[in-house]
Structure 1
Amino acid sequence: METALNFNHILLFKTNISSNKGKQLLHNILDKHPAVQCWNIDVDDNDYVLRIISETLSHTQIIEIINHHGYKCCELT
């Protein structure tokens, strides 16, 4: 019997985080956040896609965290 994969805990965002300063900010915030299991940002993509794996955080919560630190962030659909 095949088990369906659940991707609901993978959150994708479009950001404007392209600088080393922005990447360091992400390290400081997301590495310490207890609800973030894993994350990465694709700085080679034009949308600077941020991918976060969390079983408890919502898109809205992540957007608020990133926006609070002066960067743009929106859900990638």
Structure 2
Amino acid sequence: MPPILPPGPVDQATRVVLRRVNRRAPGFISNMVRSRLVGHQVEQGQRILVYQVAFTEPPGTVEVTPQTVIEFID
């Protein structure tokens, strides 16, 4: 079940950093994660497929836009 997000406007993310939770996941899955993130709100600690949101800029709940820089770390 997805987390309940606060109603109302949120800041647009300039940067979202994702940490891989499952080390055996294939590398191409990052493209699937990108497509799922754009247009949605995320917050630190939230899981998306095999990744977890490590942090966001600005901090807190943010909306991911096509201009958002999405980084993947191990």
Fold equivalence (TM over 0.5): no
Which of the five TM-score ranges fits, normalised by the shorter chain?
Answer: 0.3 to 0.5
User: More strand by proportion, 1 or 2?
Assistant: 2
Larger radius of gyration: 1
Instruction: Normalising by structure 2, report the TM-score.
Output: 0.32
User: More helix by proportion, 1 or 2?
Assistant: 1
Instruction: Normalising by structure 1, report the TM-score.
Output: 0.32
